[in-house]
Structure 1
Amino acid sequence: MKREGIVKWYKEDKGYGRIMLDGEDGNHVFVHFSAISPNHETFTNGFRFLKQGQRVSFELVENPNSTDQKQVAENVMIIAD
């Protein structure tokens, strides 16, 4: 399911963060750097990261391998900074 949201926080040194679903502060999902779609214009050095406040689109998928992260973001694309 394709969704949009705003990056709540992202730890660049750790490679993960949280995205607020549709901008709702109380409703957010986990995002890992490997889920960010590579864009060679944005990520010139190949390292993928997000910044707090960026608007993104992503697919919301079930995460059967985790008990605390039931849904995660995949195929994350930056819409606006």
Structure 2
Amino acid sequence: MAEQYSLPDVLARLYENQLAIEAALMELVLLEEKRGSSEACDNARVALDTIGENAGHIKQGIARLGRSAGTSE
């Protein structure tokens, strides 16, 4: 049977994926800015801002879930 992961573990991995996607998107934005494509970069920067704004909330929520899971066992 496959190993079961706790909700905080799964969410932590999703959070790590989000950070990786953010970093990759930023690399593409920087590359595209050098080529002069400002409209696409502006749109991508709006998405990056949203990712950045949500990252702290997600991290705090995961930490809270982890503490809750640890005390209920």
Larger Rg: 2
Q: Is the TM value for this pair above 0.5?
A: no
Question: 1 or 2 for the larger relative contact order (CA 8 Å, sep ≥6)?
Answer: 2
TM-score of the pair, normalised by structure 2:
0.20
Query: More helix per residue: 1 or 2?
Result: 2
